[in-house]
């Protein structure tokens, strides 16, 4: 047990715990599906840990102890919150891209996670395999699939498969048996097999060919060249855009959707700033207003496969822009 003075305890805690903040944010995001909620829960985790730090007895590492607190905080939060879906998780695709789009603002939609929020301060001494694992564990498709799991199954899967905790350690955290943990993990895997995409050939980092393809896609938006834009999509590409419930499959429907529904109508109406989210390329879109100023419009998280763009998730939540470190306007 720590017996230092309050000032020493506070200083020690801040110095020792701060390096884990970004990975705890990723952990809470996997559990909650919201970067806003995850930030709140990380803050709550650090507050709880600071208050209890004088009773921390070093029976586990500080990192493990923080994860225990964060996981319990997330499980408590999830007791009063529903899952955060993507439109593809609510029903089949729409076949009317020119029809009225239903906005479902009451749905707590899944949110993207800015890579800048969880990027390591330095890569010195970091195992490259660990970096890849971290990126894969926050991919948008995986986090969307995790939302289909009950909270305790979600926690078991993340702790066992992502953080590589032993079953006994997870059982101790959840105050259950090792057999129960193994059973929950088995059920979680079975559920993910049903809801996760059957194939995701998106690769990070992008190959030079994929990067060129993404460049053509972004340029086509800025030039308002719908034909060039849809040529970068695979035949079974998926387009979804919360808070709108409808989602679309294939270049023809996606092209018509953009042509009819998107407020850009001429070259230069839309400008793009490159960024990244969920370990994937992302495009921040700025739309020109009546005064000629380009203001935040949407953020796309893009999956690029070997043959083209396979999935576009377009998020219209403008509160995301500051989290990505993006400007309010483009000069």
Model pLDDT, residue 12: 84
| 103 — pLDDT class (breaks 50, 70, 90) | very high
Model confidence at 200: pLDDT above 80: no
For residue 11 the two structure tokens come to 């200083």
Rounded to the nearest 10 degrees, what angle do helices 167-174 and 62-78 cross at?
50
Angle at 211 between CA 308 and CA 207, to 5 degrees: 85
Burial class (CB in 10 A: 0-12, 13-18, 19+), 87: buried
Q: Is the peptide bond before 237 cis (omega within 30 degrees of 0)?
A: no
Domain covering 1-81, topology: Rna Polymerase Sigma Factor; Chain: A (1.10.1740)
Cα 214 to Cα 116, 186, 189, 202, 223: the distances in Å are 20, 38, 33, 12, 14
Which of the pair, 319 or 129, is modelled with greater confidence?
A: 319
CA distance 50 to 46: 6
CA distances from 276 to 59, 74, 86, 251 (A): 38, 25, 19, 23
pLDDT at 3 over 50: no
Q: In this predicted structure, what is the pLDDT of residue 49? A: 94
Give the separation between CA 212 and CA 218, rounded to whole angstroms.
10
Interval 130-161: pLDDT, tens? 555 567 889 999 999 999 999 999 999 999 99
Residue 9: per-residue pLDDT: 64
Distance CA 56, CA 46 (A): 13
Strand 247-249 versus strand 233-240 pairing type: antiparallel
Task: Tell me where in the chain the CATH 3.10.450.50 domain(s) lie.
Answer: 87-139+200-331
CATH 1.10.1740.10 positions along the chain are 1-81
Q: How many CB atoms lie within 10 A of CB 15?
A: 9
Question: 251-306 pLDDT, tens per residue?
Answer: 999 999 999 999 999 999 999 999 999 999 999 999 999 999 999 999 999 999 98
Find where tokens 């483009």 sit.
Answer: 330
Give the tens place of pLDDT for each residue, 7-56.
556 678 888 999 999 999 999 999 999 999 999 999 999 999 999 888 88
What CATH class has 87-139+200-331? alpha beta
Contact 89, 142 (CB under 8 A): no
């Amino acid at each position: 047990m720590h017996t230092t003075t309050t000032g020493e305890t506070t200083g020690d805690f801040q110095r020792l715990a701060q390096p884990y903040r970004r990975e705890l944010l990723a952990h809470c995001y996997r559990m909650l599906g919201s970067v806003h909620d995850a930030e709140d829960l990380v803050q709550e985790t650090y507050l709880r840990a600071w208050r209890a730090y004088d009773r921390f007895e070093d029976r586990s590492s500080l990192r493990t102890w923080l994860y225990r607190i964060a996981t319990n905080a997330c499980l408590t939060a999830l007791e009063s919150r529903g899952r955060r879906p993507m439109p593809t998780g609510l029903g089949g695709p729409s076949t009317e891209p020119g029809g009225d789009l239903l906005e479902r603002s009451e749905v707590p939609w899944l949110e993207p996670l800015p890579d800048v929020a969880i990027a390591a301060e330095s890569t010195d001494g970091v195992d490259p395999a660990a970096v890849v694992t971290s990126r894969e564990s926050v991919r948008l498709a995986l986090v969307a699939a995790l939302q289909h799991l009950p909270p305790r199954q979600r926690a078991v899967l993340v702790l066992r498969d992502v953080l590589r905790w032993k079953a006994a350690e997870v059982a101790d955290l959840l105050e259950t048996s090792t057999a129960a943990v193994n059973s929950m993990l088995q059920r979680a895997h079975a559920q993910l097999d049903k809801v996760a995409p059957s194939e995701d050939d998106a690769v990070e980092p992008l190959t030079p060919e994929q990067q060129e393809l993404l460049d053509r896609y972004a340029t086509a938006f800025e030039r308002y060249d719908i034909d060039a834009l849809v040529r970068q999509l695979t035949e079974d590409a998926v387009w979804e855009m919360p808070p709108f419930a409808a989602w679309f499959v294939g270049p023809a429907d996606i092209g018509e959707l953009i042509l009819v529904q998107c407020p850009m109508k001429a070259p230069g109406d839309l400008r793009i700033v490159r960024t990244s989210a969920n370990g994937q390329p992302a495009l921040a879109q700025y739309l020109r207003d009546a005064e000629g100023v380009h203001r935040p419009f949407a953020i796309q998280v893009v999956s690029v496969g070997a043959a083209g763009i396979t999935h576009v998730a377009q998020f219209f939540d403008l509160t995301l822009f500051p989290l990505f470190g993006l400007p309010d306007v483009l000069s």
